[in-house]
Structure 1
Amino acid sequence: MKKIAIYGLGRIGRQLLRIGLDRDIFVPSAVADVKDLKTLTALFSVDTNYGHWKGKAASNDNGFVLNDHEIAYVDSAAGVPDWGALGVDLVVDCSGRATKREGAQAHLDKGAKYVLVSAPSKSLTDCDAVLLKGINLDHFDAEKHHIVSMGSCTTNALAAPIKVIRETFGIEYGLFSTVHSYTNSQSLTDQPMKDRRDSWAAAENIIPSSSGAAKALQFIWSDLKVTGKAYRVPTRTGSIAELNLITTRPCTVEEVNEAFRKAAQGELHGVLDVLEEEWSSARIVGDTHSALMDLPLTFKQGDLLSIASWYDNEWGFSNRLAEVTQFIASKI
């Protein structure tokens, strides 16, 4: 059994740990973070977005006790742990600080054999591969891919419908806008921030933001001509991406929706699903899919096709992260 460690127990790290245990996908041998163990245990046990964990969460002198699993805790305030001494094979970096190669390489230098980054790498030189379940995960090469990026929640939410449209109708070019719940990179009160727009209170404003999804998508499909932007809004979780495309071949609304229905039951089952009725974001909070296509929002205006993909930016992405973790651990 390969040993897996989680580095960073923030929003994504905690959901990854819940999903790994609840779905019996994996049990990490170690978790590393800079915060104190008791606080981390409490945050894992009760989550504002997803409620009480159904299991029993406690801690002892060595780390977490989650149900019958004892998981070592490593204080990483002084730096990346000695993974070699801990016998760790795969580190899932959920710190948000491994988007450049040196950040991910630090884990390999400390003895880990592979690193899965839960964020979009800055460039293709900053990772060995960008791999998404349902899209190109079968391209994983254990000999070559020691640093793997899984992109972002938005990358995954867009990649699934883009795959369907590309393969069915072709894509000339497109533009997306994602309406995304606010995150920890923003401020709860007005104060100067590195990104000027983030200087205003996240829970009280609609804040335009950049999206790394366009670049990550081009790492997967180098010829893809799709770009876009994001708007952060005052919801705790749950997002939607609108994608406007010019397709290579003519298509109708019904043909597009039928292609999504077919993919949801076929090659993208579990990754993409469809919504046949009108819903708001409350419907998709806690949903495990990367993309839920809102079929009533599909429309055509001349040659322009518009589609909409809902996604729980925390829970859906964390489910894919857990599955990709399990996949890589089974191949190394």
Structure 2
Amino acid sequence: MMRIAINGMGRIGRLLFRRLIDRDDIELVAVNDIMDADNLAYLIKYDSVYGTFPGTITHQPGAIAANDKVVKAFRQDKPAALPWKDLNVDVVLECSGSFSTRAGAEQHLMAGARKVLLSTTGSNDIPLLVYGFNQHALSKEETIISPGGCMTNCSTHILYILNAIGIKSVQCNILHSYTSRQELVDAPHKQFRRGRSAAESIIPVEIDLQHSLERLLPALANKIASVSTRVPVANGAMADFTIQLQHDTSRQEINRLFATAAKNDYKGIIEYTEDPLVSLDIKGNTHSCVIDGTLTSVVGNHVKLIAWFDNEYGFTTRMIDWLPLMK
């Protein structure tokens, strides 16, 4: 049984805890975060997006008890000091966002963990591997990998499929729920817009999505531009792609391309729908992207494509998918 530890118990870390705790093939042995264990137990039990945990959650001295399992809970700000060797940890899920460089992630290896899976796009010297796209490139020798982020996991498959027709340029706007990197009330921030009240405005923010996509799809270098527009909802995202193709196409051709992909090679990764969805309908969806065929439009070689995704649940599904490959 694979032994897992989670470092960083924010939105992704807590959702992974909920999803892993009752798995038969995985043992969640420890978590680490700077917050008090009683506060952590409370936030795992009561979640404003996904509701109350369907079981029992309590805190004990140095541990969180979930159902009939006890998970050690540490409050250590230096990963190298964590007892991963003593706990025989196979993989650390690095979800703090603070150790996404190779030097940072290697602290978990120094502590005795065998491997590290980031919850974000890491530095350029860490392999960027998107499940469903290039997971076959993982070598047994690699000890630290990045699975990208939720936006990368949505976008990579879409652009790869469309590049079979030939892409001249891509403009991508990710309409995304607000995140902890924004402010509840107006406050100072080095990106001024991120400092504005997240629940009161539609807020454009700078992202580095194009950098990740160019690493994965080098043929599209200098052809991609991206922005994220944060909207006042707590969960869910809608990716709006405006793409100039090499050749004229049709709405029917584009929808058929993705409907076929969703049924075959990308089953479980891409979903295709013609239901009239809104963002709330995507909550808890496990796919990396859900193509909304009702919103596809084409003018000559200009394509507008819309894809929904649950930025938390879909992404944690991909992280869990990676674990069997990291044995």
SS state at 2:311 partner: coil
Q: 2:182 aligns with which of 180, 186, 197?
A: 186
Q: Does 1:148 align with 2:145?
A: yes
Q: Which residue of 1 aligns with 2:266?
A: 268
Tell me how far apart the structure 2 counterparts of residues 314 and 24 of structure 1 sit (CA, whole Å): 22
Tell me how far apart the structure 2 counterparts of residues 134 and 216 of structure 1 sit (CA, whole Å): 16
Tell me how far apart the structure 2 counterparts of residues 227 and 246 of structure 1 sit (CA, whole Å): 12
The amino acid that maps onto 1:113 is R
Tell me how far apart the structure 1 counterparts of residues 197 and 22 of structure 2 sit (CA, whole Å): 35
SS state at 1:187 partner: coil
The amino acid that maps onto 2:283 is V
Q: Is the 8 A contact 2:79 2:108 kept in 1?
A: no
Q: Is the 8 A contact 2:244 2:303 kept in 1?
A: yes
Q: Which residue of 1 aligns with 2:321?
A: 323
Worse-matched range after superposition: 70-79 or 207-216: 70-79
4+ runs of 1 displaced by more than 6 Å?
A: none
Tell me how far apart the structure 2 counterparts of residues 273 and 262 of structure 1 sit (CA, whole Å): 10
Closer, same or farther in 2 for the Cα pair 1:254/1:25, shift >3 Å? farther
Tell me how far apart the structure 2 counterparts of residues 142 and 131 of structure 1 sit (CA, whole Å): 14
Gaps of 5+ in 2: none
Gaps of 5+ in 1: none
Q: Is the 8 A contact 1:25 1:323 kept in 2?
A: no
Corresponding residue pairs, total: 324
Q: Which residue of 2 aligns with 1:171?
A: 167
Worse-matched range after superposition: 315-324 or 16-25: 16-25
* Residue deviations 1:6-41 (CA, integer Å, cap 9, x gap): 111110001112222356563311111111111111
* Residue deviations 1:93-138 (CA, integer Å, cap 9, x gap): 000112322221221222222111101124x22x1x1112111111
The amino acid that maps onto 1:156 is N
Tell me how far apart the structure 1 counterparts of residues 324 and 208 of structure 2 sit (CA, whole Å): 25
Sequence identity of aligned pairs in percent?
Answer: 32
* Residue deviations 1:199-255 (CA, integer Å, cap 9, x gap): 211111111112222211222122223221111111101111111112234422111
Closer, same or farther in 2 for the Cα pair 1:89/1:72, shift >3 Å? same
Q: Is the 8 A contact 1:120 1:212 kept in 2?
A: no
Q: Is the 8 A contact 1:26 1:326 kept in 2?
A: no
Tell me how far apart the structure 1 counterparts of residues 21 and 130 of structure 2 sit (CA, whole Å): 21
Closer, same or farther in 2 for the Cα pair 1:34/1:170, shift >3 Å? same
Q: 2:192 aligns with which of 190, 196, 207?
A: 196
The TM-score with structure 2 as length reference comes to: 0.94
The TM-score with structure 1 as length reference comes to: 0.92
Worse-matched range after superposition: 218-227 or 289-298: 218-227
Listed as ranges, the matches of 1:1-332 within 5 Å are 1-21=1-21, 24=24, 26-77=26-77, 79-80=79-80, 81-122=82-123, 124-125=124-125, 127=126, 129-143=127-141, 145-167=142-164, 169-224=165-220, 225-328=223-326, 332=327
Tell me how far apart the structure 2 counterparts of residues 223 and 192 of structure 1 sit (CA, whole Å): 39
Tell me how far apart the structure 2 counterparts of residues 15 and 43 of structure 1 sit (CA, whole Å): 10
Q: Is the 8 A contact 1:25 1:322 kept in 2?
A: no
Worse-matched range after superposition: 27-36 or 73-82: 73-82
Q: CA deviation at 1:317?
A: 0.8
Q: Is the 8 A contact 2:130 2:147 kept in 1?
A: yes
Worse-matched range after superposition: 12-21 or 288-297: 12-21
* Residue deviations 1:268-307 (CA, integer Å, cap 9, x gap): 1111101202221111112111101111111112211110
Tell me how far apart the structure 1 counterparts of residues 90 and 308 of structure 2 sit (CA, whole Å): 34
Tell me how far apart the structure 1 counterparts of residues 8 and 323 of structure 2 sit (CA, whole Å): 15
Report the aligned-residue RMSD. Answer: 1.7
Tell me how far apart the structure 1 counterparts of residues 25 and 129 of structure 2 sit (CA, whole Å): 19
The amino acid that maps onto 1:92 is L
